[in-house]
Structure 1
Amino acid sequence: MTAQPSANDQPPIRITTPNELVSLIPYLIGHHPADSLVLLGCDATKVIVTVRLGLGDPTNAWAQIVPNLARSGVITGHLVGYGSAARVGPHIDTAHAALTLNDIASSAPVRVEHGRIYATGTGAGPGDLASSHADEGVRVDPHTAAAARAVVEGMVALPSRDAIHTLVAPTGPAEQAAMRSAVARARSAGAPVTGEAAVQAADAAVTDALGSYRTGDRLTDDDVARLTLLLTDEQARDAVLARDEDDDASIALWTDVTRRADASLVAEPACILFVAAWLARRAPLAWAALDRARDAEPGHRLTRLLSAMVWNGISPDQLAEVLRRRRSDASHP
């Protein structure tokens, strides 16, 4: 099995043992997991999707998730549980059964607890766990070649899932008050515009903003206010989404705007951040952005649409194709 770094022009990271798999998972999901079951879905050569459910989530969720993975081209699944055998076991059993039911091959699931890897008894035991000491487990060695490659390629493993959500958390009370004032100034100046004028203004604003973030600068409060008001126009927002940009500057821009946006205007930039992060194969940041959009505006239509697309197994490449078609349709009315 191999895993592709965020930069797709780099050679894949090869994974050959359960320990290498366990050492790499924090980089694939963006944080060190706990009380979770992680499923890596692979095509014939590489990991194409990573799914993490908390042990507090209903086990029957796997019956919904796995068929969508099969439709997305997953042919092999690798399950790693984090926590006690009593808590991990029901999730592994249900997920493994769902893989089998959907004709997805599965390696033998393993469980991680207190820094050791254990065979679970579901399926055949992995080679480095099938020993007379299987009950004692095998110590996790985080310093594998796979983990080292992940670090070299710029992949990051934060301490916890909560740490990812802090990346998109709103700024403090003083900053939010300043942003409300900036939004009021923008409205007084005639924002937001709508229709084609909004599309052109948003495109120009994003182009200028990306130039700033590529040189280490950032938007002023007034810039953020004007941009987020432009995004309230659906045509303008969709045109920005269709730009199909996933580089570091795009992610830095939309992360910053998502954090600083007025609470009434945060859902649109958070959705754009989701798309940029998903295209860049930074799923944990993408999910955090979607959670931020959902919390800011429950029932937000685009947030519901993007959530449904992901739960139905859309891959970054498939999402990129959707955006390319939208761009093409927009240029040939």
Structure 2
Amino acid sequence: MEVKNKSVVFDIFLRGLTDDTELQPFIFGLFLCAYLITIFGNLLIMLAINCDSQLHTPMYFFLCHLSFNDMYLISITVPKMLVSIQTEDQRITFAGCLSQGCFVAVCTIFECFLLGVMAYDRYIAICYPLRYTVLMNPCFCVILVLISLFLSIINGLLHSLMVLYLSFCTDLEILHFFCEIAQIIKFACSDSLINRILIFVTASIFAGIPLFGIIFSYVHIVSTVVKITSSEGKYKAFSTCGSHLSVVSLFYGTGFGVYITSNMIDSPKKIAVASVMYSIVPPMMNPFIYSMRNRDMKEALKKVIAKTASLL
């Protein structure tokens, strides 16, 4: 098999979820609806937070960044897929594919860190309410977001740079609807063992540490809430955590599902379909979870919709 030189620019073919041409219009409509719902829902969340002064708190500050990250994540993958279906051109340059894989890795890890930071915020709010405003001051919140973003970018760049050391064969065809680093290295003609180990190690660290932080935070939250005597106090404490726990369960649940699927199933098509669960479903569902389960967010959204309706 002919090996491509590392310095040569070549095209990659993203074959999508299916080769059935009759299903392409359905897939196009389905993903277009998911994309529009995600963008509209997360924009509405961000608008409500920025317009309502009562939501100018650390929890909603992190939620605003989570919504922006969700919009960015889905915008990296779905528009390219929609254009490919419409133009029937499945090509993407190697540089474009590698960039897409890098940005997906950055957004995925950034989501993990944000969820971990939000759990820490709830831990401080419930376990140390009198010190909350001091500990979770605006400067500290910004630092937490910047550190999370910095580590996420380092993770994405590390994997992308390591891919550049690999040699690839001609006529690369990835049976996926977007470029994942793990899928790219499968087509390397040179030894990619170090790359695979690196993906496992970084995923374990950058996704595992936030998950450990989330579990640690909620263990202490539960132990604190149990000591509250009034049922109203318990409900109020848990109600602030319900939305976050739902989002964490959805994101990590789908992520682990894809990981298990990719290790147990040797079908690239099924792995591509499973990847929809963590790259499309959580960004689309997060606005609904927060708008339906959070009383303050409901009120803020009503105000925004009322103002928008009055302007129209």
TM range (shorter): under 0.3
Structure possessing the higher relative contact order (Cα contacts under 8 Å, 6 or more residues apart): 2
Higher normalized strand content (fraction of residues): 1
Higher normalized helix content (fraction of residues): 2
Q: Could you state the TM-score of these two structures normalised by the residue count of structure 1?
A: 0.22
